[in-house]
Amino acid sequence: MERKQLVREIRAVALARMEDAARTEADFQEVINQWDHLDENRERKERYHEISRSEEEMLHWDNSNKDDENGKLKTKLDIVIPCPFRHPWWQQLILGDFIDTIFDNAEDMWQLVEDIDISIQLKSLTQKQKLVVLMSAVRQYTPQQIAFFQNKTDRAVRKLFTAAICFIRDNLAEIIREQIKAEVPDMTFVKRQFLDWYDKEKIALGKDESE
> Over the chain, what is the mean pLDDT?
77
Q: Could you read off the pLDDT of 40-84 as tens digits, one per residue?
A: 887 777 666 555 555 555 555 454 454 444 444 444 434 444 555
Distance (Å) of CA 91 to CA 53, 82, 136, 138: 12, 13, 20, 15
pTM of the model: 0.54
Q: Is the pLDDT higher at 61 or at 124?
A: 124
Domain residue ranges of the chain, discontinuous segments joined by +: 2-48, 55-210
Is pLDDT above 90 for 171?
A: yes
For the chain, what percent of residues have pLDDT higher than 70?
A: 73
According to the model, what pLDDT value does residue 60 have? Answer: 52
Q: Is the pLDDT higher at 24 or at 114?
A: 24
Q: Is the pLDDT higher at 174 or at 98?
A: 174
Residue 125: which pLDDT band, with cuts at 50, 70 and 90? very high
